[in-house]
Amino acid sequence: MLDPANPDRPIAGAIALVTGASRGIGLAIARKLGQMGVRVAICARDAAKLSTAVESLQREGIETLGITADVRRPEEINSLLQETRSKFGPLDILVNNAGVGRFGPFLEFDETDWDDILDTNLKGVFLLIRAVAPEMIRRRTGHIINIASLAGKNAFAGGAVYCASKWGLLGLTYCMAEDLRAHGIRVSAVCPGSVATEFSPHPGMDSSKMLQPEDVAHAVAALVTQEPQSFISEILLRPTQKP
């Protein structure tokens, strides 16, 4: 996928799908990839916010396709991928960013909460990779990047269900990387700490000292510009100052 003849934009012309990209981290990743010359498909559940994000990226000259989709639903994933292939072609890059977070004592959560968080943060990633991988295997190329969290490595009070989803996501990432590496496909995880977004307002923290969405986007850019003989399996991302 890298173009040695174009060192300034080595992945120009590649095709990416970024989930949960109507705002925050997903939107920053889509913007960064677009600035690198990538054609970007983005999806989210909220059609109005997705439309605003598409317009913003297109105003910056980024070739963007917006598709409303719920990654918990296989039929919507199939439509998402079909439309992306029809408009842009086969995927070179998949960034699984869609996620939800709810926090509090686990005794206050019910089965519906569990299903919503695990289906979005973990099952949706499984469904998307399962749908995308066969074509990447045939082409013997591809980057799959799962946006995980330091919550997938650290326990804290009130984080039981969210942490379970992210610990599971890391296990899924590591195993899929082993399944797919022989086919030229690199599967990686980015694990940020607290990021200053609407997703996690973190009352009492100084947002200027927190990670920014662009920091996560920078990590994704590093992953997709690795030389072909190696891959970074995981990036742990922390702010330089504790907020």
108's torsion region: left (phi>0), alpha (psi -120 to 50) or beta?
A: alpha
> Can you say how many angstroms the Cα of residue 22 is from the centroid of all Cα atoms in its chain?
12
For tokens 């082409």, the residue is 139
Q: Say whether 135 sits in a helix, a strand or coil.
A: helix
Three-class SS state of 192: strand
Query: Which CATH fold would you assign to the domain 15-237?
Result: Rossmann fold (3.40.50)
Does 162 participate in catalysis according to the annotation?
Answer: yes
Report pTM: 0.95
Per-residue pLDDT of the chain (243 residues; tens, 9 = 90+): 777 667 668 999 999 999 999 999 999 999 999 999 999 999 999 999 999 999 999 999 999 999 999 999 999 999 999 999 999 999 999 999 999 999 999 999 999 999 999 999 999 999 999 999 999 999 999 999 999 999 999 999 999 999 999 999 999 999 999 999 999 999 999 999 999 887 655 666 788 889 999 999 999 999 999 998 999 999 999 999 887
For residue 145, the cross-strand partners are 95, 188
Cβ within 8 Å of residue 235, ≥6 positions away: 188, 189, 190, 191, 219, 222, 223
Q: What are 49-56's contacts with CB under 8 Å, separation 24+?
A: 49/22, 49/23, 50/21, 50/22, 52/22, 53/21, 53/22, 53/23, 53/27, 56/27
Q: Would you kindly state where each structural domain of the chain is located, as residue ranges?
A: 15-237
**Distance (Å, rounded) from C-alpha 183 to C-alpha 137?**
6
Q: 223 with 190: CB under 8 angstroms?
A: yes
Instruction: Concatenate the DSSP letters of all residues of 19-60 into one string.
Output: ES-SSHHHHHHHHHHHHTT-EEEEEES-HHHHHHHHHHHHHT
CA dist 184 → 40, 94, 125 (Å):
22, 14, 20
Active-site position among 40, 77, 162, 177: 162
**Calpha distance 151→142 (Å, rounded):** 27
Compute the distance between CA of residue 243 and CA of residue 235 in angstroms, rounded to an integer.
Answer: 20
Whole-number CA gyration radius for the chain: 17
